[in-house]
Structure 1
């Protein structure tokens, strides 16, 4: 019975890795698509796949809870996975939101302003899922600390765009689009922090918010 349970836990980890990889791909594609509507249109199918993964993982978690008798650490791992998939699904949604702005807006190719912010955000998502798989609380703490970097990038982008709108009112609509994209990246970073906090809970039994 325990060996079957361990196999299902391993399957849960594999599914989470796959969902995290889809989220990384979706964010990276959304960031790369700035100014390229063709690339931006490839994000929505990824979000559909992320949604499907969320349903599959939720079903597996409920099966583990109802059909098995998990001990405390197993229970924390399953509970954390259920929380994490909600944040991962929202990451997929926000990558799609970015793509929709690109498709309908005035975002030019090669917006250097957002490149580093996007890279920092993708790194947080990658490390948060990696921390879960490795049961690595130190890596999870690193992700939480990295949120300050993404927040700083958002502030820099915001102030740059405000100056741009002040000096050239004709840039207003495009600047608003870029500010919305930056805000979505910042929110993705927040969701990566949530994932990292649930990693810590799954290992220690302690959940710290903020």
Structure 2
């Protein structure tokens, strides 16, 4: 029994290492996508798009490893929740990376066109979303329910910023019909950031389920 337990724990630790590697890559992609927007760096945007395949491959590895453990070990209770949450968290991280790619594609659509406004508030919104992601991942690795719950508070702030930015961007349209594409792409970027915050909240909800066995809607 001890050898079986040790083998399971070893495989679970390997799973967490893969997830940590995936999370670091996704977090880096998100940061670089905003830098690409600020700098209007089309090469950097393409690098983010090209690099997404590495994150997808890690997602596949995590899913395969977790499903194999479920099939071989037939875990129950907390052990089963650990594997289910690893799969769910991997899926959320993969979607966060997808949104970084979406931001990069928006950068390409805007191109080198002169920006109608300084890119200041959008990075602030992204910083908050990244704080949420960091908190959610820390909560996951530390089984910290309190930290996970705090994600909801920050998510409300992201939603407020999102609404404010969208209203501001729409306000630019009447005087800047020539910049409709740019305004639309910037609005999309705001939406992608809002989704990153939502996925971070989902990770936090998974942490609460992992520790307590109960489902909570932190956005309720």
Which residue pairs with 1:54 in the alignment?
A: 59
Which residue pairs with 1:78 in the alignment?
A: 83
Which residue pairs with 1:112 in the alignment?
A: 120
Cα distance change, pair 23–8 in 1 and its aligned pair in 2 (3 A):
same
Query: How much is the aligned-residue C-alpha RMSD, in angstroms?
Result: 1.5
Aligned equivalents of 2:114, 2:44: Cα separation in 1: 13
Aligned counterpart for 1:32 among listed residues 21, 32, 35: 35
Aligned equivalents of 1:75, 1:138: Cα separation in 2: 22
Checking the alignment, whether the CA contact within 8 Å between 1:16 and 1:129 is kept in structure 2 is no
Which residue pairs with 2:93 in the alignment?
A: 88
Cα distance change, pair 153–28 in 1 and its aligned pair in 2 (3 A):
same
Which residue pairs with 2:142 in the alignment?
A: 134
Which residue pairs with 1:192 in the alignment?
A: 200
Aligned counterpart for 1:64 among listed residues 52, 66, 69: 69
| Structure 1 position 108, deviation (Å) | 5.3
- Consecutive unaligned residues of structure 2, counting only runs of 5 or more, are none
Which residue pairs with 2:19 in the alignment?
A: 16
Aligned equivalents of 2:158, 2:186: Cα separation in 1: 15
Where does structure 1 differ by over 3 angstroms across 4 or more consecutive aligned residues? 106-110
Task: Tell me the secondary structure at the aligned position of residue 174 of structure 2.
Answer: helix
The TM-score normalised by the length of structure 2 is 0.90
The TM-score normalised by the length of structure 1 is 0.94
- Consecutive unaligned residues of structure 1, counting only runs of 5 or more, are none
Checking the alignment, whether the CA contact within 8 Å between 1:23 and 1:50 is kept in structure 2 is yes
Cα deviation digits, residues 68-108 of structure 1 (max 9, x gap): 14241111111111111111111111110110111122465
Aligned equivalents of 2:153, 2:205: Cα separation in 1: 11
Checking the alignment, whether the CA contact within 8 Å between 1:127 and 1:143 is kept in structure 2 is yes
Deviates more, 1:153-162 or 1:68-77: 68-77
Aligned equivalents of 2:86, 2:189: Cα separation in 1: 28
